[in-house]
Structure 1
Amino acid sequence: MKYLISGLALSLALGGPALAQDKYVVAVDGTFAPHAMPTMDGGLEGFNIDLINVIGERLGAEIEIVATQYSGILPGLQAGTYDFVIAPTTITPERAEAYYFSEGYLNTDFQFLVKAGGPEITALEQLEGQVIAVNKGSAYDSWARELADEIGWTVESYGTATDAVQAVVSGRAFATVAGNTVIAWAAKQNPAVQLSYLHSTGLVWGMPFRKGDDELREKIEGVIECLKTDGTIAELHVKWFDSEPAEDSAAVTPRPGWGEPDLPGYVEDDHEPGCA
């Protein structure tokens, strides 16, 4: 499914004329609520949809959003199908070896979701012997599988985050694990499930680019930094997650240089973040 979003040539917070008249093809998992999800009229809405729309407006660029399963997004980027990825993607050292990343724009912790009325989970060890549903190809998939022998759980992968939640509702899985924003949204929308154990990661979500696309990464990251400093990302945080971002979180704190510091692909630079 493709959704065409045309950005206007706005000066807005950039304080001048649009930077360029371009078109970018970007990829998102269209079932990853509240970051991207279908609307009644066949479009898409969510935090990341709003975010890329604003980026397109600030650049005066045309954005073509391709909604697809997450497991095919990074291979599609590598193959040149997409210019960059707007699906929430956890920046890990392994991924940063293979792709360029923008600086993080949201913190992401891992949170479990269980059937409503289930036992309180306060430690991973309590999930020994249980089936854990995950979104195939996601960071939660690889993390859960790496811990499978240590914890003693069984991991089952599903094509979408929604399918993983339904596995819990139907009893095929004891729990599902995903980013805390996604899990909070799922619990808010479905009384059959409830929030459970929160695992702090120290990780952030960023936007992946192909290695070598330095100019494009810097262009997009420059707008992300502007949206942090002018409060736009904080406003989207309240709109979609019902909470203000933490004071020092990635949603409001521009990083120095290009990319996420201390990870592969990071480039030191003394540019001043803002809406110049």
Structure 2
Amino acid sequence: MKTPILAALAALTMGAAEAQDSYTVALDGTFAPHAMPSLSGGVEGFNVDLAAIIGERLGAEMEIVATQFSGILPGLAAGTYDFVVAPTTITEERAESVLFSEGYLNTDFQFVLAADAEEVDALEGFAGKTIAVNKGSVYDSWARELAPEIGWTVESYGTNSDAVQAVVSGRAFANVAGNTVSAWAAKQNPAIKLGYLHSTGLVWGMPFRKGDEALRARVEAVIECLKTDGTMVALSEKWFGVTPAEGSAAVTPRPGWGEPGFAGHAEDDHAPGCAG
């Protein structure tokens, strides 16, 4: 049975292809805690749960394909996937080639400190400290670019887990990584805690093929419902151990369809929510 929110989209999808009974969606199955191998087989994580709930709300089966991120957007373009549920940063360049949903999570940089470490409330507070990063990551290059300005020392490790361990062992004062990855690490390890959050202003959205505006609207309407009915909060607390801040992408529906300010955004006066 279709949910009320789908009924509210009838006018938008009039003349478009009927909603499908099943969708094939893709994510990176090695990006914890968004998607990672489960002990029972398959994958689990925030985005796995999110995709399953979207399928339930749409009344459709969701075939979730775990693959390497590098092949996901080309696979979308080739028609292998109906849409992408992997965390994908909305950028101007990407928005020119794919159709994004509105953002559903902020993607910021967050520091992890030893549980008993002094609090730091600004980047300048890390002056003279050693910062551990995952070698070759965006956090590695960002920290090194800022080193002359901040006055910190950057040490790179083969994995982010190794960088976190450097904090635990005292070889580094802090580790910096993505906010959800840092939250997951702190949730799993009582020896560390979340520290300063550096906002990038960027968000993660779900990519669709250009021309699939009707499908995007159906999925985005569900995402907006999940933002307003508490589901996104529950998923964030389950997987990240963090309650989304007021005004964050996880709890704030955006006007129209897509992310405002980027190519593909469509103005619309629909009222976000779950009632139709």
Q: TM-score interval w.r.t. the shorter chain?
A: 0.7 to 0.9
Q: Where does residue 169 of structure 1 map in the other structure?
A: 165
Asked if 2 retains the 8 angstrom alpha-carbon contact of 1:26 and 1:86, the reply is yes
**Alignment of 1:236 onto 2:235:** yes
**Equivalent residue of 1:76, what SS?**
helix
**Equivalent residue of 1:261, what SS?**
coil
| 1:86-125 paired onto structure 2 within 5 Å | 86-113=85-112
CA RMSD of the aligned region, Å? 3.4
Asked if 1 retains the 8 angstrom alpha-carbon contact of 2:139 and 2:177, the reply is no
Unaligned ranges ≥5, structure 2 = 8-17
Q: Where does residue 184 of structure 1 map in the other structure?
A: 183
> TM-score of the superposition, structure 2-length normalised?
0.75
Deviations 1:20-60 (A, max 9, x none): 44222111122222222222110222221111111101111
Between stretches 209-218 and 119-128, larger displacement belongs to 119-128
Q: 1:128 to 1:203 in 2, by over 3 A?
A: farther
- Aligned pairs, how many? 257
Q: In 2, distance between residues paired with 1:101 and 1:155? A: 35
Counterpart residue type for residue 267 of structure 2: E
Q: Where does residue 48 of structure 2 map in the other structure?
A: 49
Deviation at 1:122, TM superposition (A): 6.2
Deviation at 1:221, TM superposition (A): 0.6
Q: In 2, distance between residues paired with 1:83 and 1:135? A: 33
Counterpart residue type for residue 32 of structure 1: F
Unaligned ranges ≥5, structure 1 = 1-9
| 1:226-265 paired onto structure 2 within 5 Å | 226-265=225-264
Q: 1:164 to 1:238 in 2, by over 3 A?
A: closer
Counterpart residue type for residue 165 of structure 1: S
Q: 1:252 to 1:99 in 2, by over 3 A?
A: same
Q: 1:89 to 1:164 in 2, by over 3 A?
A: same
Deviation at 1:224, TM superposition (A): 0.9
**Equivalent residue of 2:103, what SS?**
coil
Asked if 2 retains the 8 angstrom alpha-carbon contact of 1:13 and 1:226, the reply is no
Asked if 1 retains the 8 angstrom alpha-carbon contact of 2:133 and 2:177, the reply is no
Q: In 1, distance between residues paired with 2:110 and 2:218? A: 33
Q: 1:119 to 1:51 in 2, by over 3 A?
A: same
Deviation at 1:156, TM superposition (A): 6.8
Deviations 1:214-240 (A, max 9, x none): 122111111111222222222222322
**Alignment of 1:71 onto 2:70:** yes
Deviations 1:115-158 (A, max 9, x none): 8888977665758997864497xxxx456546744546879797
Larger Rg: 2
Counterpart residue type for residue 226 of structure 1: C
Deviation at 1:105, TM superposition (A): 1.2
Q: Where does residue 32 of structure 1 map in the other structure?
A: 31
Q: 1:41 to 1:142 in 2, by over 3 A?
A: same
Q: In 1, distance between residues paired with 2:119 and 2:228? A: 39
Asked if 2 retains the 8 angstrom alpha-carbon contact of 1:169 and 1:192, the reply is no
Q: 1:170 to 1:199 in 2, by over 3 A?
A: closer
**Equivalent residue of 1:112, what SS?**
strand
Deviations 1:184-233 (A, max 9, x none): 11133246765454211222221112222212211111111122222222
**Equivalent residue of 1:51, what SS?**
helix
Q: Where does residue 269 of structure 1 map in the other structure?
A: 268
Deviation at 1:179, TM superposition (A): 2.3
Q: 1:31 to 1:20 in 2, by over 3 A?
A: same
Between stretches 66-75 and 258-267, larger displacement belongs to 66-75
Q: 1:167 to 1:71 in 2, by over 3 A?
A: farther
Q: Where does residue 14 of structure 2 map in the other structure?
A: none
> TM-score of the superposition, structure 1-length normalised?
0.75
Q: In 2, distance between residues paired with 1:15 and 1:260? A: 20
